[in-house]
Every structure is written in structure tokens, then in C-alpha cells.
Amino acid sequence: MSKSKLRGKDLIKIGYTEGRVIGITVNVMAKHFKKMSRQNKMQLLTEILENPQAFLETQYVDVIAKELVTAAEKVKEMEVINLNKQALDYRIYGKQHIGQNAIDQMDVAMKLPVAVGGALMPDAHQGYGLPIGGVLATENAVIPYGVGVDIGCRMCLTMYNMKPSYIKGHHAALKKMLMANTAFGAGQGVADPMDDPIFENEAFQEIGFVRGLKDTAFKQIGSSGGGNHFVEFGVVSVLDPDNEWDIPVGDYIAILSHSGSRGLGARIANHYTKIAMEKCKLPKEAKHLAWLDLNTEAGMEYWIAMNLAGDYASACHHHIHRRLSKALGEKPMAMVENHHNFAWKELLEDGTEVIVHRKGATPAGKGVLGIIPGSMTAPGFIVRGKGDFTSLNSASHGAGRQFSRRKAKENFTKKQVRDLLKKSEVTLIGGGIDEAPMAYKDINQVIASQSDLVEVIGKFQPRIVRMAAD
């Protein structure tokens, strides 16, 4: 195949939407622009996409422009779906810790015609679409921004039969392990990615858009994103003598990681959010809550792609822990993990099947284990769900921000962070002011606000933390 020949995935990358226009454009470029360089083709098509009206009388590409204009007119003609006048009732946990803007966002979500239930967790703060910490149940509909851009963002903890004193005695070696076996930031990957059964998933073959993401997914497997993602060594305290692992109560070394589905998930989220917003026109305040009907082709595609991204996120964590376990020369005694940006098919208390979106919320069905982290200096908690239907079997996914990233940079200094790290006996590799521990709510208050939802069975204290550079 000529290097200058374009494929559908090339057009999707620059903003073209799947449909008739893709086929028309590929055929026109192959037939009439064979000698044009790939770069010039992409530039021309970008200009047509941005202003199709200007190309309606331009030879050869007029058919592309007409199709783009027709599609845009169809979107404009779509009737706006009205929200319900009254929001459904929903439970707010730890309301005193939650800003009004997050509550207002949740109120809008509870007016959606497809909404059947919801809850707001005590770590909630404003986001796009659903607030972070928002839980929303819908009827046969999935909301891409209700899941979030980082599909399958999750926690994973492994525990080792090693005394906490090992950390102090081997501090420099553990720092080197983190540096050698983790990678952080947009577009980053580990130097020697390992293969994984995830790449045999049929979704990589069945869905054209996803097929084009396989190479990126392979390059980034076993790596972590930026922002609040981390990998850290610390001390886990097993508190419940009747724990699921039959581990004696006491303190052990543990590794805790937090990250999601990398570029694969982000591309899936953005692609299907765009489709949802084209097919489901909502009032301005609710536009990011556009949904896909699960009986439609787009809805089924997103569901398959979302689950692929979730499995990929899990595989990334397993690669990280496998590498570090090998470097430690120890096998873990136990592993605990959970998603907190995802959608599940679940049953309400009356047996009705719904789609439960947890955007920054931890599954907390009866007996289900999860991890709720604090910050780089505050403890995290291993919890066991109590199965509370009022919360849609959910709990918080962390402490939650009380300062946005911008406000954190305005309010805190590097010295303040260094002083708190020293006081807390925590070593930080990377990180930025936007992730200052002071930017987060008090995790102990957040946990206390959801005692009806989970019971604490373990506690994790960070000691050596690696995050993306500022």
C-alpha cells in the first residue's frame, strides 16, 4: 500500500466522523489526488472539515464538502431532548464536604429522561458530564462522559510477607526499582513492553476504530498516566482478623498503583462521546451527558470498547506489579483491585436491570473489596462493601479535591509540599504542586461519611511515591 494512501482511521484522527463521509473521502483522494503527498492531503482534508462551505464548488472535493454540510444540517435539525422538570431524588453522602457546583451537576444528571437512580459520594467535586464521585443508574443507555475519559481508571494493591523496616533499610534500592519499572505521562511507555492476552481480544478486530489503536495500546501497556496517577511502596496494616486472605493482623510491605487505560481509553472516550453528542442533542447544561442506546450499533460498539479498555487498564496494573515483584524477589501474598471509572449492568433492589455509571466511585456491593486512597502523604483504606442499595452499591474513590489544579498552584508552594513530605516521612519522585496533599479533602472525614457503605479492613501508608513530573 502506498504510504500516501489514506484510510478511514487517518480521517477519524483529524476529526471526521464514521459514516458515509469516510468512504466518499477515501475514494475521492485515491482517485483524484494520487500524486499529492500524505501531509498535503491531510492538510487539505482538515481545511475542508473546518469550513466545508468554502469547498462546495471546488472540483473533486465538492462531494466531500456537500456530505459534511448535509451531516451538519441533520445535527442542527435534530430536536433537542428535553430534561425532566424535576430531578429524581438521590442520596448525598458527606454533603458538608461537597461544593455546590458538584451538587448542581448531579441535579442536572438526575433530570435525564433515561435516569432511574443516583447517588453522590463524599469525595465529589465538579467534572465534565457527571461530577467526579457521581453514581448514575440509567435504563438501557450508556453515557460516555458518565464513565469518563480515563475508562477503567483503577486501583491495585499487592501485599508482601516483608517487614516494614525493609523500606528504611533499602530506601535507595526501592527508589531505583520504581524508576526502572514504571513510566508516567501522556504518550509514555515502558522501554520493553511485555505481550499480554489482552491483545487477542476480538474487539481489536471487530471494531474498525479500535483496530487502529492496537499499536498504541501495545507501546503503552504497563505504564501510567499523568495527574494523580501513581505507583508507590508503603506499609499496609491488616486490621480485620477475619480477612479474605487469611493473613494475620499486622503490618506488611505493599505496592499500590493508580492509573487507567492510557491512550486507548482516552481515544475511545472522545470518539464515542462525539457520536453520542451528535445523536443525542441535549440542552447546553446537559450536553456532556449525551447517551448511546445500547440497542444501537454505536451503543453496542462503545460497550464492547469500554470493556476492552477496562481489561486493558487491569492488564497495565498487573504488568507494573509483576515487574516490581520480580525486582523485589518476592511473590505477593494477596492482591486487591477495583475500577472506579466504568459502567456496569447491575440490578436494583427490585430486580430491575440498569446501567450503573461510577465516575470516580468504587463498587461496594456486599462483600466486594476495594481501595480508597488518600493522597501522597495521607493513608488509603482497604474496604469491604456493605451492599447499600441507596448508594447503588457504591463508595468514594478517594479523598476528592478541595482545590482545583489551578487553585492548588496558586495557593501552595514547593516548600510547603517538601515540608509536609518530610513531616510525613514520604519520599516523592516527580509530582507537581497541582497534586499537593493540601489540595485534597481529609480522607478520614470522607471515610467516616460513608460508614453505612463500607467497613475498613486495612490501611495503607505511602512511603516512596512516584508520579508524573510536573
Q: Which residues does the annotation mark as catalytic? A: 397
CA 126 to chain centre: 15
Buried b (16+ CB within 10 A) or exposed e, 376-392: bbbbbbbbbbbebeebb
Of the candidates 129, 135, 438, 134, the one whose C-alpha atom is nearest the C-alpha of residue 289 is: 129
Q: Is 236 helix (H, G, I), strand (E, B) or coil?
A: strand
DSSP assignment of 209-233: HHHTTHHHHHHHTT-B-STT-EEEE
Give the H/E segment covering residue 97: none
Q: Return the C-alpha torsion angle 260, 265, 266, 268, nearest 10.
A: -160
- Residues ≥6 apart with Cβ < 8 Å to 37: 4
Of the candidates 122, 134, 113, the one whose C-alpha atom is nearest the C-alpha of residue 95 is: 122
Residues in the chain: 470
Of the candidates 377, 382, 350, the one whose C-alpha atom is nearest the C-alpha of residue 454 is: 382
Give the H/E segment covering residue 255: strand 250-259
Cα(387)–Cα(373) distance, rounded to whole angstroms? 20
Cα(45)–Cα(57) distance, rounded to whole angstroms? 15
